[in-house]
Structure formats: structure tokens, C-alpha cells
Structure 1
């Protein structure tokens, strides 16, 4: 069986696990001898669940550099509902055993498929042309280390093939995770109380920050058993926010239009958490009793920021579960077909 850990243990082990992943990924990248990518080469990420949430960072980073990239739901690709015609496809399965990404990989052109997995010897190895491993560290049922390691893998892969100059940023990710675990522990207690008290939780972000927004929403559903949904910032303004009330909570990641969203709902009693690198003086609702601002350091790269934002979300989940009468790691409903047998 694959090694597992509790949510809190896996969360706190991230600096060590990410250091292992960094070493392992560099080794595997060297062994894979991947060719350099052309300036106009297109990239597809094919994944499910949490792994698909991670793809927003890669797509945003490549898009900002003028490179075409898109993410695909693996089950849609496997069933022919979406067709991938990319120069390079990244097939992500943290376990290496998710059947949908593996089936999707069989529809992709040979020679274009790169796999990412914490357990590269699992069935994913048979369905891709090269597989990059994270190191096989224990992870929690609600993914923690495996999720941030996927973001690290994107940075190192894109650097190796010449798509982005992101190797130095990738090297900083283990220490960024350590800093976040230390620096945001107190703020997470406040955010955790907000999450624990809410009947529903909306999470908003765009670009690379949509990774943390989507993943926090998933952790809320899986771990806190609370209804939650994630939205791209501007999409959220086109109707979805209308259900908010003082029984709900809103978590926002970002530095742009995100800054003015809180002021439209604070007086209605909606508790809002804003995670931002912007100065507090630029936030219209700053100082309101219903607004909690979590300040990010300035100058983070897109991959570093996605990891720091994700760790803040993890810490908040760990704090929130202390106010619930059930454990974080126990799922109520089990599906027999979401993983293939362990080799």
C-alpha cells in the first residue's frame, strides 16, 4: 500500500517533502532528456480533482509569457468529449493510479506525453512517454504535499524544456512552504473560525491564484463537509455572488479587482477573507469588522505564490476542523473506481 499521513502531519512535512521532490524531479528530468520546446508550442494539462486544480498556475504562467496552454478534464478527454491537439501534454496523477488520466493519455499522440506522479512506478508509467516522480513521500487523503509538489514540478519542467525561466523559483519553493507554515499559523486560526462557522463558502481568484481558490474549495468540501464552490474573479461578479448572506463566507485571493469585492458584501454581514500582496491601504473595505486581510509578501513568482496561498488554505482547514465534531481524514462516501489497484 502507498504510505499515508494525517492532514496535519503531511502539511507540516511539506518543506522536507518538497525538498525531496525537488531532488527527485531534477534527477528524473535529467534522465528523461526532454527536447527543448519551441516558442509557439502548445501545452495541455490533463488531470482530475486536485491535480486539475493545480493546472491553473501552469496555464497562467505560460499565458503570461505568451505561450498557448490549456487544462482538460481527463474524463472528457478519455470519453472523446474534448480533443487534445497539443504539442506537449502533461498527464498528472498524484497516485499514478487514477483511471481517467491514464485512459486520456492513451488518446494523446505518442512522444508528447509527460507524466507527473508521486508514485511513478504505478500504472501511469505505462501510458506516458516519460514520467517524473516526486519521491514517494506519505501524503494525506485530502492532498497536501502532493499538491504543492505538483506546482513545483511544473516550475522545474518548464525551466528544463526552455519554456520559462522558473528553475530558481522552483528551488525556493521548499523554503517558501516552510516560511508560510511559520508565518501564517496565527492568521489561520482566525480564518479557520470563519470557515468553521459558515454554512457555505465561496472561494474566488484568477490566474495563478485560481489554483489556491479551487483547491481550498475542494478541501472545504472533502475535509470540512461544507458546501463550497470556486470561481474565477470576474465570472463571480456575473451572478454567483448573489446567494451570499451572513451565514456564508467568502475567501478571495488576488491583488486586482479582488480588492474591491469585499466592500460590496461586508455591510450585509458576510465574513470575508482577502489573501493579497496589495497594501492594506488600497483595500476599500480595510478595517471593517467582517474583513480579515491576510498579507502576502511582495515579489513572489507565480509558482511560489500558488504554494504560499495553498499552504495558507491548508492551515485554515487544519484550524477549522478543530471546531467540528468529526475528523478531517475520514470520507463519508467511497468510490471503488477512482483508483486502480496498487502495483
Structure 2
């Protein structure tokens, strides 16, 4: 299945994962995972998702942070609980991270209960996102959804209406698609694109930058908003672009970029900014749950990556670099 068609079927894939994860969680008691210090880990897009998940745990009063799985392979005793994210459950680094922390309670989120990661964890939740493409779309958003449901099971109901997500997904995708002709023109042939956000949106920015690198082969990087103001943005100009996620300092930053002629796309729940100059605004629903917001915010980035991939003549082109030491054989 193509990348663009996989992105488009996320209302269905999220609905299927919602049903599957809820059914599994109904028979599990995960409350023991709520004590002590929690590390959320993964590699690649799964690490970007881990940043979002850790931020929601922090919002709910837990001591939690995200760590790349490769940084845990030395086996230092850094956590009481590990939440391990890997779409297919075969990432060598993430499996070894769990194996090197045998005293820690652990939860794996994958699409395969027989995967090496599922077998290495104390608990497992299965995704039912169906097919995925390169770059990952359904795998990323389904992982976040399952993690959000798991946190509710660990800490108690957050009041989040997860059942509304498929409908929200379709609406946000529609809004984003309406802006793509403008964004495709403004962002075509960028020499670099930065992605910027704060808190949980640091993970979204990281995930968006990976999409742009993988799909359109444009150099892209993710930055935390306040850090971005202290120098990194100085290299951005009319030949580059910036994608921003957030409702705070990101709004003024978007206007700063437009003022110097740098194309900017702002994904925000605020409604007091409109398209102007080289600034394009994509409005998304507001909400307290940072994981839900992380799922919603990535949709415009997924569609933008598809647009720029098409513009570069790279539609559904496979990765150029094949790694032999990152996946455990099926």
C-alpha cells in the first residue's frame, strides 16, 4: 500500500486499534506500573512517540522521561518501569533495553504478541493498525493511541474521549488537505526544514522531521521551541522552511519567520492567526490529553511529507540505505 493511501486510512486503522487495545486492557491489571520512575523508550519514530507519551505521564504527575533505546543497552538501572514502543516489536535496541533491565516492570506496545519485544516485556498491548508504509503513519499513530489507553489503565481514566478519535482524524486530515496546494508551493525545493514544538510537541516535531527526511529526502531537524530561539533559527531564510506545533510562543515565532520571508506552517488550536505572506495556519482541536493532541498534530506533517515527496519525484521510493543490524529476523 502506498504512503499516501496509508495516511488516508488512519480513521479506520485507529478505530481498529482502539477496539483491539481496549479488549486487551479489559483483562489486564497495569496499576503496578504506576509507581516509581518510568522510562518510555523506542528508536526512530517510536522514540518520537516516546517523547509524547512521557510528557503525558508528567502532566499526570508521574516521574517519567523518554530515553532512546540505544542509550539503555549498557544496562544501567535507570527505571522502575519501562514502556517500550516498537511497531513490529523487532528493533534490536529496544529488545535489548528491556533485557538489560530485568528488575524493571515493563509494558511493550507492538502489532505482534509473538514478537521478541512482546516476549521480553512483563505486559503487552497489541496494535491493530493493519498495513503501514514507509515512512510510518498508521504504526506511529496507533502506537500513541494504545499508549494513551494504557496510561488510563495505569493511572485511572483521564476523561479523554478516545472513541471520537476516528472522526476527529478525518476532519483534521480534511483541513490539512485544504492547505496543501498553498504549502506545496511555498515548501517546494527547500534546502532544509526545521520542525519546532514544546513539551509533548518536541516529540511531534521530531516525528515530523523524520517524515520529511524519509519521504522527501529534505534535511530536516526537530527542536524545542525555547531552545530554537537561542540561535538555531538564525540559519533559516527564504530558501528554507519551518513547521511549528503549538499554541504558545510558536505563534509569535511563526510571525517572526514570515517577517523575514521564511515559509512557515503553524499547526495550532489557536484561532487568532490566519494565512498571510508565507505563513500557513492549520487549525486543530484543543484538548488536555497530550497524547491525543500528539496524534492529531502529526496528520498535517504526514500529508505535507507526501506532497513534498510527490514534488521531488520520490513518491513511495524505498529507503536507499539498508541496515543489517537494527531488526531481529522474523
Give the TM-score taking structure 1 as reference length: 0.90
1:16 paired to 2:12: yes
Query: Are the equivalent residues in 2 in contact too, given 1:159–1:166 (CA < 8 A)?
Result: yes
Aligned partners of 2:77 and 2:271: how far apart in 1? 41
Aligned partners of 2:68 and 2:292: how far apart in 1? 24
Q: CA deviation at 1:261?
A: 0.9
Give the stretch that moved more between structures: 113-122 or 170-179. Answer: 170-179
Closer, same or farther in 2 for the Cα pair 1:198/1:191, shift >3 Å? same
1:331 counterpart residue number? 319
1:63 paired to 2:58: yes
Residues 127-150 of structure 1, C-alpha deviations (whole Å, 9 max, x = no match): 111111102611112100010011
Aligned partners of 1:168 and 1:271: how far apart in 2? 34
Residues 212-270 of structure 1, C-alpha deviations (whole Å, 9 max, x = no match): 21111000111100001000101111111111121100111111111111333323221
1:121 paired to 2:109: no
1:275 counterpart residue number? 267
Closer, same or farther in 2 for the Cα pair 1:44/1:169, shift >3 Å? farther
Aligned partners of 1:102 and 1:37: how far apart in 2? 19
1:188 counterpart residue number? 180
> CA RMSD for the aligned pairs?
1.9
1:229 paired to 2:221: yes
1:89 paired to 2:82: yes
Aligned partners of 1:274 and 1:134: how far apart in 2? 30
Which of 152, 161, 164 is the matching residue for 1:159? 152
Query: Are the equivalent residues in 1 in contact too, given 2:266–2:279 (CA < 8 A)?
Result: yes
Query: Are the equivalent residues in 2 in contact too, given 1:170–1:303 (CA < 8 A)?
Result: no
Residue correspondence of structure 1 range 301-312 to structure 2 within 5 A? 301-312=289-300
Query: Are the equivalent residues in 2 in contact too, given 1:18–1:149 (CA < 8 A)?
Result: yes
What SS class does the counterpart of residue 242 from structure 1 fall into?
Answer: helix
Query: Are the equivalent residues in 1 in contact too, given 2:90–2:116 (CA < 8 A)?
Result: yes
Closer, same or farther in 2 for the Cα pair 1:7/1:287, shift >3 Å? closer
Aligned partners of 1:63 and 1:191: how far apart in 2? 34
Aligned partners of 2:208 and 2:202: how far apart in 1? 10
**Number of matched residues?**
330
Query: Are the equivalent residues in 1 in contact too, given 2:215–2:314 (CA < 8 A)?
Result: no
Aligned partners of 1:261 and 1:101: how far apart in 2? 36
Aligned partners of 2:315 and 2:177: how far apart in 1? 20
Which of 44, 48, 63 is the matching residue for 1:53? 48
Give the TM-score taking structure 2 as reference length: 0.93
2:252 counterpart residue number? 260
1:101 counterpart residue number? 94
Query: Are the equivalent residues in 2 in contact too, given 1:192–1:317 (CA < 8 A)?
Result: no
2:36 counterpart residue number? 41
Aligned partners of 2:183 and 2:270: how far apart in 1? 18
Closer, same or farther in 2 for the Cα pair 1:185/1:33, shift >3 Å? same
Closer, same or farther in 2 for the Cα pair 1:125/1:31, shift >3 Å? same
1:317 counterpart residue number? 305
Aligned partners of 1:295 and 1:77: how far apart in 2? 37
Q: CA deviation at 1:208?
A: 2.1
Aligned partners of 1:321 and 1:300: how far apart in 2? 33
Q: CA deviation at 1:37?
A: 4.8
